[in-house]
Structure 1
Amino acid sequence: MTATLILIRHGRSLWNEQNRFTGWVDVPLTERGWREAETAGRQLAEYRFDVAYTSHLQRAICTLQVVLRENRSGRTPIFLPAEGTVPRESYQPVGNEFPVHLHVTALAERHYGDLQGLNKDQVLAEYGQEQFVKWRRGYDTPPPNGESLKDTVARALPYFDTAIRPRLLDDQTVLISAHGNSLRALTKELEDISDTDIVGLEIPTGVPIVYRLDRDGQALRIVDKRVLEHDA
């Protein structure tokens, strides 16, 4: 048997549209973003999810909710808050239900610190190409008061290893709705991408990435990977 892991970056957000650094600012989806989520939901409609995860940011939560609304497997999602966010719900999914873990900050976008809210073109003009590229794409250079991709990897992977990996090792189907950089962190681990090469990886908004994974001891081996591109 094989496990299935589905990664989806949230649909296009307002600040994606405005070319601004977003990070942890909780901006909404655009109309295009809602449509991307709906298309992704139709593409994933027949999958039978065992568990789903998302961050605390509405663009990822809304994308996940739309995808689950389109699902036709007959299973019922039960939304559970991450530990420490609100009083814990004692009820646990049973039978034909499955857990959806909300507000998982380990899966949140990279925090862009003082750059959050700034237009990327203006930052480029003020600080120059070299500094801009280091902040935006460099692996281990954080912006002022923010995180680097290396920092994002350091918080995302422990959560993946403790909460998500055991599900995959148990041949489950896992859905993660998250963000460009937190998904780059997971992809780096799954595909064993180097610190240098991960800089060039771009994850499109609203496009499901489906991995089939085999178990190799406690390791996961990719059987195949499909990117479910949207029609133009």
Structure 2
Amino acid sequence: MAINLYIVRHGETYFNFLHRFQGWSDAPLTPKGIQHGLNAGTRLANIHFDGVYSSDLTRAVHTARYILKNNTANSPLEPNELPDFREQFFGSFEGIDSEAVTTTLSAYTTKTFDTYSDLITGYGMAETMNTIRLADPFTFAENDEQWWQRVSHGFDDIRNRHHDGDNVLIVSHGTTIRGIADKLNRHDLASNAVKNGALMQIELMSNSANISRFNDDTTVF
């Protein structure tokens, strides 16, 4: 069994533009973000998708709709919303400037970091998620175990809905995409910030998965 997953990061939002932690907060797409969705749709226009899904956050739902607007291969007209593919929940850090969050997180590590990506490179995705949870004074934020429990449930859901050879589109989020890459033992890929509208392609088998493309915003399929 192999399901072909095309996982796309949503288009740019106003929180992305303002360099704020977003998580489960629901900032709308910018005009550039709308174009990210349309561009992804153009690159994927010739693929017939047997299923189309997005996280239930508005930026992902809208990006999926813009992708489907340019699809010419008789794919579904609307995405199904799957909360399992949401972004990590950042708890008390939602909406906070990313530099301020990074400064706070550095107090819980043995080294200081200039950017969130530097923290991921230095400690890995799992430890980064756990540090966010540790640093959240109200402990709202998800840790690695909580995040992966729901995302892996999402993959099982996709396996149950689809068959060998199906093409499936999922619109998700930057940290979630990086976290998935890390769980699939591609720590080298997880160190890279995911571009808005970029694609990760995965071959999803019954008990495993392989990444064939990551952070791809140029390939026309």
Comparing 137-146 with 28-37, greater Cα deviation is found at 137-146
1:101 correspondence with 2:80: yes
Q: Give the paired residue count.
A: 201
Normalising by structure 1, report the TM-score: 0.74
Q: 1:84-143, CA deviations, whole angstroms, 9 ceiling, x for partnerless residues?
A: xxxxxxxxxxxxxxxx311x2211111111111111223345x37344869874142214
Contact 2:195 2:215 in 1 (8 A): no
Deviation at 1:205, TM superposition (A): 1.3
Name the CA distance, whole Å, in 2 between partners of 1:179 and 1:37.
Answer: 13
Match of 2:5 in 1: 5
Mapped partners of 1:116, 1:69: distance in 2:
31
Q: Which has the larger share of strand?
A: 1
Deviations 1:17-55 (A, max 9, x none): 101111111100111111111111100000000001111
Matches within 5 A, 1:118-157: 118-125=96-103, 127=104, 129-131=106-108, 137=120, 138-141=128-131, 142=133, 143-144=135-136, 145-157=140-152
State the 1:176 CA deviation.
0.5
Would the alpha carbon gap of residues 178 and 40 (structure 1) be closer, same or farther in structure 2, given more than 3 Å must change?
Answer: same
Tell me, yes or no, if the aligned pair for 2:7 and 2:201 is still in contact at 8 Å.
Answer: yes
Taking only aligned residues, the RMSD between alpha carbons, in angstroms, comes to 2.9
> Match for 1:175: what amino acid?
L
- Write the distance in 2 (CA, Å) between the matches of 1:130 and 1:153: 25
Tell me: CA distance 1:223–1:56, structure 2 relative to 1, closer, same or farther (3 Å).
Answer: closer
SS at match of 2:169: strand
Deviations 1:61-84 (A, max 9, x none): 11100000100003443x4xxxxx
- The letter of the residue matching 2:185 is D
Unaligned runs of 5+ in 2: 121-127
Cα offsets for 1:169-213 (capped at 9, x unmatched): 522101100111222333334x3346xx676243221112233x3
Distance 1:48 1:10, change over 3 A: same
Give the equivalent residue in structure 1 for 2:198.
207
Judged with a 3 Å threshold, the aligned counterparts in structure 2 of structure 1 residues 54 and 172 are, in CA distance, closer, same or farther, namely: same
- Please give the secondary structure, in 1, of the residue aligned with 2:53: strand
Determine if the alignment matches structure 1 residue 228 to structure 2 residue 219.
no
Per-residue CA deviation, residues 140-180 of structure 1 (Å, 9 max, x unaligned), is 2214121134421121112212x112456522101100111
- The one-letter code matched in structure 2 to 1:156 is V
Q: Is contact 1:139-1:199 (8 Å) kept?
A: no
Go from structure 1 to structure 2 and tell me whether the alpha carbon gap of 1:201 and 1:166 turns closer, same or farther (over 3 Å shift). farther
Q: Are the aligned partners of 1:167 and 1:174 in contact in 2 as well (CA < 8 Å)?
A: no
The match for 1:21 is 21
- Aligned residue for 2:153, secondary structure, equals helix
Q: Tell me the distance in 1 between the aligned counterparts of 2:162 and 2:182.
A: 17
Larger radius of gyration: 1
The match for 1:49 is 49
| Alignment partner, residue 37 of structure 2 | 37
CA gap 1:128/1:65 in 2 versus in 1, 3 angstroms: closer
Determine what percentage of the aligned residue pairs are the same residue: 25
Q: 1:73 aligned to 2:68?
A: no
Higher helix share: 2
Give the whole-Å Cα distance in 2 for the aligned partners of 1:168 and 1:76: 14
Structure-2-length-normalised TM-score: 0.77
